[in-house]
Structure 1
Amino acid sequence: MLFNKRLRVLIVIFLIFLQFFIIKVNILSYGKENKKYLSLSSLDEIFYLAKKQYVEEVDQRAVLFSSMKALQGILSSDTVKLTALPQGENIDLQMYTYRKNITQILEDYGDKVGHDYIIKTAISGLLEALNDPYTIYFDKDEYERFNSSLKGGNFYGIGILIEIDKDNDNQLTVVETIKNTPAERADIKNRDIIIKIDGISTKGLSIDESVNLLRGSRGSKVELLVKRKNISDPLRFEIVRDKIHISSVESNLIDGKIGYIKLSVFGEETNKELDEALKELEKAGSRGYILDLRNNGGGYVIAALDVCSKFMPSNSVVVYMKSRNEINAYNTYGSTHKSVPLVVLVNESSASASEITAGALQDSKTALLIGTKTFGKGKVQTIYELQRAGGALKLTTAYYMTPHKKDIDKKGLTPDILLEMDSSKIGSEEDIQLQKAKEYLFEKNSGNGR
């Protein structure tokens, strides 16, 4: 199985709209604080993991050079005299030179700039050479937040899902406002662009850095400067943080006979929560299902397998994973639930595990897809918990394909019924995608006598 390794490994397709470009050194958290939790062995661990496990061959000299370049960017270049990395294939000599340079930098600048800040900058430079926005190093605190985002449960914040909008100048954008949260009460809208958080510009911030700023202790305040469509001047909001509860599955019976199921994330509890929701809807007499994956950026691959197993025949291919050396198929394991007509709703923010699920259900003709073209993330990340560095490395280790071996990376899935709609209308009376799904299910049920 995928999870039985020396390091506890979780195969994930992360919330893609939460990770659009290469994570940068967390200046806000580290700055000149002279913490000493990291070491040269931390760099070694991350470098050799990437070299061995990354989905493509790694140019080791380019990676080490990128790390050195990142370090020179935070130091006074006129006083930094470093030994050039040797040419050729002798990785031992290159690593010796690299480590010697890092040691010198730590000795000369550790007290001025911050020991861990230097190491984190070096790590960031290593990973930046891969040119892969999904490969990211998490320190211990960031890793805990990452895990909590997939486990569901509780945290303290304002209650929004955010993305870096690649189609709108990489601006920090609200994907969805969670119901009954401070953000909803403050009237934060879907597609609002967050310009500043507590006076700090969001331009160039990663999602994780933005989340750090948005979350805080219960009762504390955060100020947002927001740009809203059709309003010329930015809007200012002061929001009091509170406990936010997120369930990965929400469900209810609509129009007396259709089971509506919204998945917000493919998390640890999704299998259990979906099973419970289906049992309740079956008991209520549901004669068809709408599985809403709009604005769902993904999560664990195993959760996608669980979801598909609820609807598809046993031992059906859900996804193919292509690593550097092999291709593996992952299949459903069967379901105890009644088979009824199914519609899956998707949009441009449906990504990764959502696309695995939607692609499998579409290819197997188990479901009809309605909505807009999906995001298009066909890369798989493995989470390696780090023994020396602490935290974790989220590393791209495979590409995935649908059961019909469609590569959707940077292409997305095309729905069976393409129906454009502004995502701000999701859940409103103007939700034409949901209306179309209901119409299809009513016709399907009336046509087959169910």
Structure 2
Amino acid sequence: MSITKNGLILGATALTAGSVALTGFGLHYSQTQAFVRESPKEIVDEVWQVINSRYVDATFNGQDWRSIRNEFLEREYASKEEAYEAVREMLKTLDDPYTRFMNPEEFRSMQIDTSGELTGVGIQITKEEETNNIVVVAPIEDTPASEAGIMAKDIITKIDGQSTEGMELNDAVNLIRGVPGSNVVLTIQRDNREIDFDLTRAKIEIKPVRTRIEEDPNVGRVAYIRLVQFSNNASAEMREAIAQAESENVNGYILDLRSNPGGLLYSSVEISRMFINQGRIVTTVDRVGEVDGHQANGRALTDKPLVVLVDGGSASASEIVSGALQDNDRATIVGTQTFGKGLVQSVRGLSDGSGLAVTISKYLTPDGRDIDKEGITPDVVYELSEEERELIASDRQKLGTREDGQFRRAFEVLSDKITRTAQN
């Protein structure tokens, strides 16, 4: 999730691969122009002002926000660290895990994270509102977490033996992060069992797009494109992948967004435009009902049959793309219900080098669906069996091959679409 261009990052998760990041809603980054002040109290007021002017809920979770300002400014703070704790306490009253404060180190890490170079174990996590559980949104491919077999929807119950019950998301991230080569043990609850994963932290470089050509005697060549994150360079790599596939005369595409936790909003819009020639892609709505819509621009790179693979780890930007393709009748969605993160955040640099992520709006699919907490329902539901999940978890090379049940089903659907297209 990099913070450049329109800087909109989609998501509501923290990336423990060495930084704090957002995936599930759009994220807009802007740097405040305030001067660094001597009084730690000033950062408290600066955060209050941003929330007061931009927060999506004009009732501030049913609170008197001005009284809260008075309460926190009447306190004395001996250090910036005390002010930072007060800021976190103030934000906690909003009951919004996605509106978060980042100290200068965490904010710098987030900026590095979105460039695609990370340090850590390689998982996206979130804190569920209903249960307060720390939950894995998705492991990032070819990282310690994915290679160990950690899966989307796993619940992290302990970090190095410390219970996560009642733990804040930032605290969990800080415990999981660390120096490359060092170890961290995550205790995972999956179904009715607990599993310990001893992970070695590493430097992680994310290549967002992976592609290959699948040959089939009945339908010819099919391009399989796996997108693992909507990072800064994802749209450029996707454009190259489609151009290469078109040069090889493919007859259709499978776009794999499984376990893709999201990323930049503009990246999701640009990639949608590569497949959709006309129509709306996504709409964002703020607290006063102002609407900002993103449309296709008549420059689609292909109109060939398309199937999109999704699962419970497909969040935010992944849901924008799959929702846009579904509502515009451009693709058939195959897999399982997506994660359901449809909020937009603005990320701002503060005067002392710290940062603030603020929920400022929600996004809707072209048909006006609010998918937050709901997700995208596939057109063709295919749930992997426990045996199939374990097979892929034990050997990630099988993902996107005929040994992958969801891929097989997607290929069947695409083959039928290609055949019908050829007959028309």
User: Do they fold alike, i.e. is TM over 0.5?
Assistant: yes
Structure possessing the higher radius of gyration over alpha carbons: 1
Deviation string, structure 1 residues 252-279 (Cα, Å, up to 9, x no partner): 2234522122222222111111112222
Change (3 A) 1:359 1:443: same
Task: State the AA in 2 paired with 1:323.
Answer: D
Structure 2 match to 1:42: 43
1:251 paired with 2:211, answer yes
Identify the range of structure 1 (52-61 vs 396-405) with the bigger mean alpha-carbon deviation.
52-61
Of 286, 290, 293, the match for 1:323 = 286
Of 62, 65, 76, the match for 2:64 = 62
Identity %: 33
Deviation string, structure 1 residues 68-126 (Cα, Å, up to 9, x no partner): xxxxxxxxxxxxxxxxxxxxxxxxxx64x642x222xx2xxx3xxxx233212221122
Compute the displacement of 1:146 (Å): 2.3
Compute the displacement of 1:170 (Å): 4.2
Task: State the AA in 1 paired with 2:235.
Answer: N
Give me the TM-score of the superposition, normalised by structure 2: 0.80
1:14 paired with 2:11, answer yes
Of 176, 184, 194, the match for 1:214 = 176
Change (3 A) 1:42 1:405: same
Task: State the AA in 2 paired with 1:134.
Answer: Y
Structure 2 match to 1:90: none
Compute the displacement of 1:335 (Å): 3.0
Q: How many residues align?
A: 387
Distance 2:152 2:337 in 1: 19
Compute the displacement of 1:65 (Å): 5.5
Distance 1:319 1:443 in 2: 29
Of 424, 430, 433, the match for 2:406 = 433
Compute the displacement of 1:137 (Å): 1.3
1:332 paired with 2:296, answer yes
Deviation string, structure 1 residues 149-182 (Cα, Å, up to 9, x no partner): 3321x33323344444668x44444455445444
> Does structure 2 conserve the Cα–Cα contact (< 8 Å) formed by 1:400 and 1:407?
yes
Structure 1 match to 2:396: none
Change (3 A) 1:409 1:307: same
Task: State the AA in 1 paired with 2:415.
Answer: F
> Does structure 1 conserve the Cα–Cα contact (< 8 Å) formed by 2:12 and 2:126?
no
Give me the TM-score of the superposition, normalised by structure 1: 0.75
1:297 paired with 2:299, answer no
Change (3 A) 1:282 1:381: same
> Does structure 1 conserve the Cα–Cα contact (< 8 Å) formed by 2:103 and 2:354?
yes
Q: Secondary structure at the match of 1:374?
A: coil
Distance 1:334 1:164 in 2: 39
Task: State the AA in 2 paired with 1:398.
Answer: S
Identify the range of structure 1 (302-311 vs 272-281) with the bigger mean alpha-carbon deviation.
272-281
Distance 1:284 1:138 in 2: 47
Q: Secondary structure at the match of 1:303?
A: helix
List aligned pairs for 1:387-398, cutoff 5 A. Answer: 388-398=351-361
Compute the displacement of 1:430 (Å): 5.9
Of 366, 376, 381, the match for 2:340 = 376
Distance 1:282 1:189 in 2: 33
List aligned pairs for 1:147-226, cutoff 5 A. Answer: 147-152=111-116, 154-164=117-127, 169-183=131-145, 186=148, 188=150, 193-226=155-188
> Does structure 1 conserve the Cα–Cα contact (< 8 Å) formed by 2:12 and 2:341?
no
Name structure 2 gaps, 5 residues minimum: 16-21, 25-36, 393-398
Distance 2:9 2:180 in 1: 30
Structure 2 match to 1:345: 309
Higher RCO (C-alpha under 8 Å, 6+ residues apart) = 2
> Does structure 1 conserve the Cα–Cα contact (< 8 Å) formed by 2:155 and 2:190?
yes
Q: Secondary structure at the match of 2:114?
A: helix
Name structure 1 gaps, 5 residues minimum: 22-35, 67-93
1:443 paired with 2:423, answer no
Distance 1:343 1:38 in 2: 56
Q: Secondary structure at the match of 2:334?
A: strand
Change (3 A) 1:189 1:45: closer
> Does structure 2 conserve the Cα–Cα contact (< 8 Å) formed by 1:161 and 1:178?
yes
- Alignment RMSD (CA, Å): 3.3
Task: State the AA in 1 paired with 2:179.
Answer: S
> Does structure 2 conserve the Cα–Cα contact (< 8 Å) formed by 1:304 and 1:353?
yes
Compute the displacement of 1:436 (Å): 1.4
Identify the range of structure 1 (124-133 vs 360-369) with the bigger mean alpha-carbon deviation.
124-133
Change (3 A) 1:37 1:360: farther
Deviation string, structure 1 residues 320-376 (Cα, Å, up to 9, x no partner): 111133112111234352321111122223222222111111111111111222222
Identify the range of structure 1 (196-205 vs 174-183) with the bigger mean alpha-carbon deviation.
174-183
Change (3 A) 1:165 1:310: same
Distance 2:52 2:275 in 1: 39
Q: Secondary structure at the match of 1:291?
A: strand
Task: State the AA in 2 paired with 1:301.
Answer: L
Compute the displacement of 1:61 (Å): 6.3
Of 319, 326, 331, the match for 1:362 = 326
Structure 1 match to 2:239: 275
Q: Secondary structure at the match of 1:393?
A: strand
